[in-house]
Amino acid sequence: MTKVYLRPRPLADSEQGDEVVEYVVEDRGIRVVNASKHFKNFTGILSMTNSEAYTQAISPLVPAMLAGSTSCCFAYGHTNSGKTHTIFGYGDELGMCQRLLQDLFEQSDGGLLMQVRFYELYNSKVFDLLNNRQPGFVRQDGDGTIHVRSTTTMGPNGEVLTQSLHAGYADSANAVIDIIRKGKSIRAEGTSELHHQSSRSHAVLELEIVTPALAQSRQEVALAQARVVPLGKARDDLYIAIQSQLYTFVNGKHTLSGVQPTQEDQDNLNKLQAQVDTAEAEVTAKKERVIAEKAKYPGGMFVLVDLAGAEYMGEGLARTPQERKEAREINSSLLALKECIRAQSQDHVAATTLSAWVLAEEDLAVVEQSFLLRRTEVTEHNAHRPEEKQIAALDITVHDTVGLQMTNAKCDLHENPAYILFVSRCEVASVQMLLEVSVICMFKYEHKNLSIC
């Protein structure tokens, strides 16, 4: 089931006295006064306060997370529409993540251990916000699963370790919030046309309920996988050396050399293969233990994503080359997200579009999805082109799986900032969301039809 909420943003201090949009709440939607514009098929209208918005949209998913489900919530929309304020709060006002953590620990039976991963996608690169912004990498394994990995490190016995991003652990809401605060302090920020502290990256916060045994089991999997790598390399190097002796290159052709591998080489190859088999069997056993530990305590996961704001790309805007690059990267990645959501709504994702990052490892099995569409007031402060001071007419159709269709929309989002807060709940223990980096700007103002799903 898909839900769509509308949430007006109050005027900022710098906008006081500007013209605002008047609207009337009607059945499952709103009507814009004096404009004959309708926003249809909304589940409800959210309060301007984070506490009431949380109670209506996020709080109902807490019991499901405690029971083992996975939820995802992301804020999407234009710069200065209040996405970061909603997810992380501002000043004394708590955001969705702080309120979620307080609810989780209050509603649990005690002894809750929270695993936290926090990273950002900035200019198509991943940075770990819990490890001093160390770069991460996107990798796809042999099974087709995409992983966000940390930089390669050395283990206690000289093993080459390639594992997930740094994880923090805490057993109280305040301790988790402190971890998040430290990560948020090093997130990339910059200046946009509307905001001097604008988020210039997509921030991903993963909150997972774990046990000490589960955390230890996952670490053991990483160590076991690290032991496979050097053994596999040694085996492959020896195999290539043996094969290179069997052939010779003469007159542009490979022909048999007549040389046979020595018994010693063959014995060494067999020995290395046996060691690889043993190491891979150990990895399998460690993974099975992870599954067993997860089954003992089916804690869920909640992923919160604060996307960077869609940027104005009009001519004449004062920007540095770096700011223009950031704007292009932001808009192109948001377009890619739109395409991934569109593909998921059709029960498939084209292989050619999967080139960015994933929030977790399991297949997407969404049971409930909620979209919150937030639209700020149109003000003189936000209007760059007086001749385009018109309210977008949005006909919104809610799809059964994933979708929010906006048709007949005059693309004046540069003056009508909006964002979507997407909430999904899964019956599996993790959720997969794909973001592909593209090079096409998200909004082309001359288009008469704009699809964002």
At 48 the pLDDT is 80
| 421 band by pLDDT with thresholds 50, 70 and 90 | very low
Q: Give the 3-state secondary structure of residue 61.
A: helix
In order of their start, the domains of the chain are: 2-143+163-205+297-426 (3.40.850.10), 223-289 (no CATH)
Q: Are 254 and 247 in contact (CB under 8 A)?
A: yes
- Residue 296 labelled as part of a binding site: no
Two tokens at 392?
A: 């977008």
Residue 142 annotated as part of some ligand binding site: no
Residues 362 and 147: beta-carbon distance below 8 Å: no
Q: Could you give the CA distance from residue 394 to residue 277 in angstroms, rounded to a whole number?
A: 59
**For the segment 245-294, what is each residue's pLDDT rounded down to a tens digit?**
888 888 888 788 888 889 999 999 999 999 999 999 999 999 999 999 98
Per-residue DSSP letter, 27? T
The Cα 411–Cα 390 span in angstroms is: 10
Higher pLDDT, 354 or 9: 9
C-alpha to C-alpha distance for 171 and 209, rounded to whole angstroms:
10
Over residues 32-58, mean pLDDT = 73
The whole-number pLDDT of residue 23 equals 66
d(Cα 24, Cα 87) in Å, to the nearest integer? 27
Residue 51, pLDDT above cutoff 80: yes
Q: Is 79 annotated as a binding residue?
A: yes
Q: Is 89 annotated as a binding residue?
A: no
pLDDT surpassing 70 at residue 71: yes
325 has pLDDT over 60: yes
Beta bridge partners of 396: 406
Choose the most confident range, by mean pLDDT, from 58-72, 332-346, 419-433: 58-72
**Residue 5 near residue 42, CB atoms below 8 Å:** yes
Looking at the chain, how many residues does it have? Answer: 453
Assess whether pLDDT exceeds 60 at residue 28.
no
Tokens representing 199 are 């988020």
At residue 102, the pLDDT reads 96
Q: Determine if residue 251 is labeled as part of a ligand binding site.
A: no
Percent of the chain with pLDDT over 70: 60
d(CA 85, CA 8): 13
Range 209-227 average pLDDT: 90
Distance CA 49, CA 7 (A): 10
Tell me: pLDDT of 66 over 50.
yes
Q: Is 81 annotated as a binding residue?
A: yes
- For residue 30, what pLDDT is reported? 61
Q: Above 90 in pLDDT, residue 105?
A: yes
Cite the DSSP H helix spans in 261-379: 263-296, 321-345
Residue 433: is it exposed, middle or buried by C-beta count within 10 angstroms (0-12/13-18/19+)?
Answer: buried
Lowest mean pLDDT among 3-17, 25-39, 255-269, 426-440: 426-440
